[in-house]
Amino acid sequence: MTRRSVRGVVATGAILALALAGCGSKETGSGSSGGGGGGGSDLSIQPLKQIDSEGNEVEAPSTSDAADPAGDGNATCSGIALGFAGALSGDNAALGKNIQYGMQLALKKHNDANPNCQVEVKDFDTEGTPEKATQVAPTITGDQSIIALLGPAFSGESEAIDGQLDAAGLPALTASATATTLSENGWKVFFRGLANDAVQGPSVAAYIKNDVKAEKVFLIQDDSAYGKGLAEEVSGGLGDLVTDTADVKTKDKEFTSVVTSVKDSGADAVFYAGYYAEAAPLVQQLRDGGFEGKFISADGVNDPAFVDGAGSASEGAILSCPCGPAPDEFASEYEEVSGGTAPGVYSVEGYDLTTIMLKGIDSGVTTREAMLEFVKNYDGQGLARNYKWSDTGELEATNIWMYEVK
């Protein structure tokens, strides 16, 4: 996912106001106490701008022509289901639920408008791990009522089971897995609904050079497929600006040796490639240890849970995301199905990709094979972006959003 609650913003003032209300105002809780934490209730992740791989600002597309999952209300179908695979429990469950709620919203709008085509969704909790994903994969592929899957959500679990999905001919549209290598395996069923790390890495590197103007960057990566791949892409973009590196592990909570290394390096910026569960205590300990430079990370950290966990230590953090902005109307509808939870990272992608699958069903698709052909030939505007895929499952056009904790 790679993993992530954001709302977008674009260059013009009117659309900026719209997107801020929808995606940029990720309100947080009270924050955790201790160390650099606490006092985070006034902080939120706010949008800065959308950029391309060279760091140039890019205006967001209009959402007025976005596909509507309700369709024309005349669809007919029976016994058809879509699947969802992602973390619904575990340390990074918030990221999976963001996507799941987006899917639920699209399903609700479709089923409310189409009484003769009630599409079911079947959820599979992977806990965000390759091990659990491998356990549930046979159930997913063996259920012939499932003609397409939203997921897997994270890169590691995608690597682990997408081969099985491909063998079963089950179209798998991921709203969040960004590891670049996923599209290089020859899988015919793989479709990525956002930019990969080969786009995000250079974009973030350009932002660090041009906007942050860092002179020495200390790069820290976790041991996940996502963290390793992202770190490689960012490091390549930064070149000699990366003066030191460190490896950490998922589940780590104590970073004394890393903090010491960062301080000794004289770095004026830290880039962390990993997820929010580890980033929150890491940035707390960096601030407690006296590091005053910029803390920068990407979509795996770009979630209110990071701000809640790190509290005041998260202030000023720069976070990137290939996820798209959530307009006002979407945000309001989303909160109705989520029980008041604001749209999160990849919520819009979850909605858009589900809408595409529903459009396939409404057109008469009833099998995995037919859905695969529909998605392969799809070309349409969503809330986040236009969706049209190459033969490797990558989108033809992608950009990155930059955010700051304020």
Beta carbons within 10 angstroms of residue 64's beta carbon:
7
b/e burial code for range 243-258 (CB count within 10 A of at least 16 → b) = ebebebebebeebeeb
pLDDT values of the chain reduced to their tens digit, one per residue, 406 residues = 543 333 333 333 333 333 333 333 333 332 332 333 334 468 988 889 999 989 999 987 788 899 999 999 999 999 999 999 999 999 889 889 999 999 999 999 999 999 999 999 999 999 999 999 999 999 999 999 999 999 999 999 999 999 999 999 999 999 999 999 999 999 999 999 999 999 999 999 999 999 999 999 999 999 998 999 999 999 999 999 999 999 999 999 999 999 999 999 999 999 999 999 999 999 999 999 999 999 999 999 998 889 999 999 999 999 999 987 788 899 999 999 999 998 988 999 999 999 999 999 999 999 999 999 999 999 999 999 999 999 999 999 899 999 999 9
What whole-number distance in Å separates Cα of residue 43 and Cα of residue 323? 20
Give the pLDDT of residue 276: 94
What whole-number distance in Å separates Cα of residue 68 and Cα of residue 334? 14
CA atoms within 13 A on the CB side of 354: 30
Give the pLDDT of residue 350: 98
What whole-number distance in Å separates Cα of residue 214 and Cα of residue 291? 14
Contacts of 405 (CB under 8 A, 6+ apart): 43, 44, 45, 46, 306, 307, 314, 315, 316, 317, 319
Q: 37, 188 in Cβ contact below 8 A?
A: no
CB-count burial class (<10 Å; 0-12, 13-18, 19+) for 339:
exposed
Q: 371, 82 in Cβ contact below 8 A?
A: no
Sign of the dihedral through C-alpha 317, 278, 349, 112: negative
Go through the domains of the chain in sequence order and give each one's CATH number: 13-61+202-325 (3.40.50.2300), 81-197+330-403 (3.40.50.2300)
Q: 319, 405 in Cβ contact below 8 A?
A: yes
Give the pLDDT of residue 41: 61
What whole-number distance in Å separates Cα of residue 380 and Cα of residue 397? 12
Supply 68's token pair.
Answer: 């509507």
Give the pLDDT of residue 325: 73
